[in-house]
Amino acid sequence: MAVVDYLETLLPQLVLIAFALLMPAMDYLFKKDKRVLSWIALVPLVSLACAMVSWLFMGVWKPSGAPIDVISVDQFSGLFTLVFLAVGIVVVLGSPEFIRADKNHGEYYSLILLAMVGMTVVAEASDLIALFVGLEIAGISSFALSGFRKSEKRSSEAATKYFIVGGFSSALTLFAISILYGIGGTTNIQALGSALGGASAPAWVQDSQSMVLLAVVLLFAGFGFKIAIVPFHMWAPDVYEGAPTPISGMLAAASKKMGFAAVFKVFLIGLLASKMQWEGAAAILAVLTMTVGNLVAVSQTNIKRMLAYSSIAQAGYILIALPVGTQYAVEGGLFHIITHAFMKSGAFMVVAAMGAAAVGERLDDFKGLGRRAPWLAFAMTLFLLSLAGIPPLAGFASKFVLFSSAVYASEAGPQWLVWLAIAGVLNSALSLYYYARVIKYMYMEKGPADKIAIPPMLKIAIAFAAVMVVLIGIYPDPVIRVCEHAAAIFTGLAPGV
Amino acid sequence: MLESVPIISIIILLPLVGAVATLLLGRREEYAKYVAAAFSGAALVLTVLVTLEFVIDPSTTAARGYHDGHGFFNYQYYESYPWVESLGISYIVGLDGISLPLFLLTALLSFLAIVFSWDTKLRPKEYFGLMQILEVGVLGVFVAQDYFVFYVFWEVVLIPMYFMIGVWGGPNKDYAAIKFFIYTHIASLAMLVSIMALYFQAGAHSFSMEAIALAGTTNFSRLFQIVVFAAMFFGFGVKMPMVPFHTWLPDAHVEAPTAGSVLLAGLLLKMGGYGIIRVAIPTLTAGAHELQILMAVIAIASILYGALLSLAQKDLKKMVAYSSISHMGFVLLGFATFSSLGIVAGVFQMFAHGLVTAVLFMMCGVVQHKCGTRLIPSLGGLSRKMPVASTMMTIGFLASLGLPGLVSFAAEFMVFASMFDKWAMWLFLPILSVAITAGYYLWALQRTMFGPLTTKIDTSHLHDVDWYEGVPVGILIALIALFGVFPSLIFQYINPAVQIVTHLLGGG
């Protein structure tokens, strides 16, 4: 394979890296107005996002088919790349006003772009080592970003916590990878799937099922930390609360999704043969995650913590796709990942806007927001109702596909799967309580009378997310189609509807 | 003429456009009511035209069978556009004899509720905007012929109602609003899971009610029908509300503003009844047959328990709220007989109850507004100061207790007749409620309107109804009398459509 082909396959990452290296230099060029930096950081994000949209939604072009053996560019990776880029756009738009008073703007944007590089590598990885490298690139950038306000105690604490947990989860993941390599003799996910499964597997693979199970447990823990599923979720609220708000948005809306890209690939391709062994555990973890996330969210008074727990709950919903394990379920999972990216990053940007206006991020600070900043409150209402799954918003459409996949699978296969849908639905009802409470505070409680001024770039970021939430809700068809194509790479699973 | 344009979509869109216009008024909040009244009024006028032009042709309807051309129920003004093709979701709307009276009721009550709220000073822009969004949702529920669209409209109703209670409600509004929201949302979710189950089990790759019902005649096993029917029955029943899932209703009513109560009792409760007769029974006939007795028992329990609770209330509005539970029980009882007579009566009772309960809640609002309290022990002899109001209240109470010549009588009488036809002597149970109902209404009337003028409140400034209160109530009372004397004006629409339901249920 010619060098040019390598470069072409890696073009998105190369562009991001180039800009990431450029950003610190720009810091020196634009000393007066640091906002320019965010516009520069938007260049690669927006252009790559446009490229992805023109590929996935319009079919204008197609990536060249020749993959490097550790990376495969397909609709699945394209979809995730687009989600990461979209979140990146929202985060970068929301940042300049938020970090106005801080130093090191260049490094800030540089790290965001590098985190994007790591996430896209995870989405494209077809090899466990490449996957691990991607996880690390994204992880290390995110640790640094969480501690961006290094003079602030909360921020440093968040970074330290995140770093320790991240290191721990990496170790577990790596250990699991080494076990799988030892049994299967390969780190390629596809090859691993055939090595571990089927009647053709050699006898000693059959005999080492207990070791495979150990690897599964370790992976649940390792990835579980990344996507914050219960009981590996403790770090998430602290980190989200302490990190700069736009970064919290990135962690919730993008980093978490990176974990899901890894989980889907490893479990539904590499470990598909032992699905019988892990599907029960995955189902229990899914239900546990959504229930604990929602129950704890009810008692939160800090909006960022509440959103953190709501992210945990949403991760539980997405995790349903794993035990159900049909292409339709993965389609639903992907769809919910997309909608969650918009509604969650949008909600965090609203909190960031409150922070930028020096209002605060406690529930009490939202009192009377409907009068103080009508459009901001309206956007927040949209995000929260979408998170709760109220039609006709995006969150409803994706939950609909996701939960219905469990109902569908239960009618065709094991009946207990329907309980996943019921658990999801009951949790949605429960979650409505704390989402509605924020809305109640915004519209029904009396607050200070003064208006809040929102920085223009944050307005753009919030408006973008809000428009997407409404648009996908009203016309989900194109997005569902793209998810359907992306889910089709899981050839081992039962096809969609 | 109306057939040539997508008239139903236009009617639904009118209040939506009105809502957006209202919310965008900016600082000119005082114009909100005019905008709302104009758009809602236009929707009402079009709905009346649709009603007048609706083709009633029982002979051909029966002859045409039940799946021909325009849908399962020979829908008129039928519209169908693909929406989410990957999941088989289409925007399908249409009207038939069962939905038309409720559609008309929705347009009417929404408009009258807006007029009744003419005096709203607190955040009028949002108030009238939400009222119109509510109207959009309810109108949509009554015409949607695709499960997904049905569910979307169903949920759209929730949010404005939550705000109406939560912002413009009484002292305990927070609790009432959230209780309303959670209760009815859980019920909706039971419905949602049922819809998913129906969709996949039918295997028609379509959410169209007709396609699923047709596929279901062969694909739905008996057990599946029972389970899904039970889930749907729960979903719709909470909304109706039926005992024992009724506790959200009194709380919501007591705290809701008057117009909110009017829409809640007049329209939102009907959504539950409509869902049972439009969706649950025709699609899952075997399941319905299995649970017929359960439906009847719950209906009778609601009728009696609601009536007994009404008897014990001190708050006028709470009394009316509990009476709604009792009266919606008649709807369910009519449906549970599975006979043409009973189902027609049930649908007619929904229409009748919508008119009557609107009058009652409006009059409770008037009393609250003028006297500052609704507590029966604090009131008394109001007819001396408010003759028009007390006359209207009296007519409303008499209509609600089923006085012959007024609209509820026809409905309740037919429910009793169909019940007797089916279960003979068991009729003695629901018929007890007639005495209880007469008891609590007349007793309340005596304690509030007649007798010596109360001294517990300051009555020196008491004055009679304002125009914006009197006119809507007057219109409603006129209609109550009109349809009471000529119930066939509405029956003629309902009857042919119900024949199709009973045909599906087997026999008639």
Structure tokens at A309: 């727990």
Residues 6+ apart with CB under 8 A from A443: A369, A370, A377, A381, B126, B163, B166, B167
- How far apart CA B192 and CA B23 sit, in angstroms, is 31
Q: How far apart are the first and last CA of chain B?
A: 35
**A421, A429, A476 ranked by CB distance to B185: nearest:** A429
pLDDT along chain A (497 residues), means of 10: 74 92 88 86 94 90 75 91 94 88 89 96 93 95 92 90 93 94 90 80 78 92 92 91 91 92 93 89 95 94 93 95 93 95 93 85 89 91 94 93 91 87 91 90 85 87 94 94 92 78
Angle between helices B340-371 and B467-485 (to 10 degrees): 160
Which residues on chain A are in Cβ contact (under 8 Å) with B166? Answer: 440, 443-444
In this structure, is the dihedral angle defined by the CA atoms of residues B438, B444, B448 and B452, taken in order, positive or negative? Answer: positive
Question: Chain B: nearest CA to A47, how far in angstroms?
Answer: 29
- ipTM of the complex as predicted: 0.86
Three-state DSSP at B381 gives coil
The angle subtended at Cα B365 by Cα B359 and Cα B370, nearest 5°, is 125
- How far apart CA A135 and CA B139 sit, in angstroms, is 51
- How far apart CA A267 and CA B102 sit, in angstroms, is 52
- How far apart CA B71 and CA B439 sit, in angstroms, is 46
pLDDT tens readout for residues B278-321: 999 999 999 999 999 999 999 999 999 999 999 999 999 999 99
Does the beta carbon of B220 lie under 8 angstroms from any beta carbon of chain A?
Answer: no
- How far apart CA B131 and CA B436 sit, in angstroms, is 34
**A390, A403, A429 ranked by CB distance to B196: nearest:** A403
In this structure, is the dihedral angle defined by the CA atoms of residues B272, B274, B279 and B284, taken in order, positive or negative? Answer: positive
Q: How far apart are the first and last CA of chain A?
A: 38
Question: Chain B: nearest CA to A356, how far in angstroms?
Answer: 26
Closest C-alpha to A82, from A59, A60, A53: A53
With CB atoms and an 8 Å threshold, state whether A426 touches B177. no
DSSP class of residue B80 equals E
pTM: 0.90
| Interface probe, candidates A317, A477, A483, chain B, greatest B C-beta count within 10 A | A477
Beta bridge partners of A302: A362
Place of tokens 């006709």: A392
Structure tokens at B269: 């409760």
| Interface probe, candidates B192, B198, B205, B212, chain A, greatest A C-beta count within 10 A | B192
- How far apart CA B95 and CA B68 sit, in angstroms, is 15
In this structure, is the dihedral angle defined by the CA atoms of residues B138, B142, B143 and B146, taken in order, positive or negative? Answer: positive
Do the Cβ atoms of A166 and A143 come closer than 8 Å? Answer: yes
* pLDDT value at residue B64: 43
Do the Cβ atoms of B254 and B317 come closer than 8 Å? Answer: yes
- How far apart CA A7 and CA B265 sit, in angstroms, is 67
| Type of residue found at A21 | L
* pLDDT value at residue B72: 60
A and B: number of Cβ contacts within 8 A: 85
* Length, in residues, of chain B: 508
Structure tokens at B488: 């066939």
- How far apart CA A242 and CA A152 sit, in angstroms, is 9
Beta bridge partners of B84: B89
- How far apart CA B165 and CA B134 sit, in angstroms, is 13
* pLDDT value at residue B470: 92
- How far apart CA A59 and CA A61 sit, in angstroms, is 5
Angle between helices B467-485 and B387-400 (to 10 degrees): 30
Q: Which residue range(s) make up the domain with A266?
A: 3-487
| Type of residue found at B109 | L
Phi, psi angle pair for B208, to nearest 5°:
-65, 130
Provide the domain count of chain A. 1
Domain layout of chain B by residue ranges: 302-508
Residues 6+ apart with CB under 8 A from A411: A418, B197, B200, B201
Taking the CB of residue B84, how many other CB atoms lie within 10 A of it? 22
* Residue A493 within a domain: no
**B158, B189, B197 ranked by CB distance to A407: nearest:** B197
* Residue A397 within a domain: yes
- Across A323-332, b (16+ Cβ under 10 Å) vs e yields bbbbbbbbbb
Structure tokens at B307: 């009536």
Tell which B residues from 108 to 127 touch A, by Cβ distance under 8 Å. 126
Three-state DSSP at B379 gives coil
Radius of gyration of chain A from its Cα atoms, rounded to whole angstroms: 22
Instruction: Please state the separation of Cα A63 from the chain's center in Å.
Output: 24
Taking the CB of residue A170, how many other CB atoms lie within 10 A of it? 18
Taking the CB of residue B410, how many other CB atoms lie within 10 A of it? 24
* Length, in residues, of chain A: 497
**A385, A477, A497 ranked by CB distance to B84: nearest:** A477
Tell me which H or E stretch contains A491: none
With CB atoms and an 8 Å threshold, state whether A440 touches B200. no
DSSP class of residue A255 equals I
With CB atoms and an 8 Å threshold, state whether B178 touches A436. yes
- How far apart CA A142 and CA A148 sit, in angstroms, is 10
* pLDDT value at residue A497: 63
Do the Cβ atoms of B363 and B400 come closer than 8 Å? Answer: no
Residue A392 preceded by cis peptide, ω within 30? yes
* Residue A61 within a domain: yes
pLDDT per position in chain B (508 positions), as tens?
Answer: 677 789 999 999 999 999 999 988 878 888 999 999 999 999 999 999 999 988 886 554 443 444 444 556 678 888 889 998 888 999 999 998 999 999 999 999 999 999 999 988 888 888 999 999 999 999 999 999 999 999 999 999 998 999 999 889 888 888 899 899 888 888 999 999 999 999 998 888 899 998 898 888 788 889 999 999 999 999 999 999 998 999 999 999 999 999 999 999 999 999 999 999 999 999 999 999 999 999 999 999 999 999 999 999 999 999 999 999 999 999 999 999 999 999 999 999 999 999 999 999 999 999 998 888 899 988 888 888 899 999 999 999 999 999 999 999 999 999 999 999 999 889 999 999 999 999 999 999 999 988 888 888 888 888 888 999 999 999 999 999 999 999 999 999 999 888 888 888 875 3
* Residue A495 within a domain: no
Closest C-alpha to A311, from A294, A323, A298: A294
- How far apart CA A465 and CA B43 sit, in angstroms, is 33
**A433, A444, A475 ranked by CB distance to B166: nearest:** A444
* Residue A453 within a domain: yes
Give me the torsion for CA of B420, B421, B424, B428, rounded to 10°. -10
**Chain A residues within 8 A (CB-CB) of chain B?**
385, 390-392, 396-397, 400-401, 403-404, 407-408, 411, 418, 421-422, 425-426, 428-429, 432-433, 436-437, 440, 443-444, 475-477, 480-481, 484, 497
Taking the CB of residue A97, how many other CB atoms lie within 10 A of it? 23
With CB atoms and an 8 Å threshold, state whether B197 touches A477. no
In sequence order, what DSSP letters do the residues of A447-485 get, joined into one string?
A: ---S-----HHHHHHHHHHHHHHHHHHH--HHHHHHHHH
With CB atoms and an 8 Å threshold, state whether B178 touches A437. yes
Which residues on chain A are in Cβ contact (under 8 Å) with B176? Answer: none
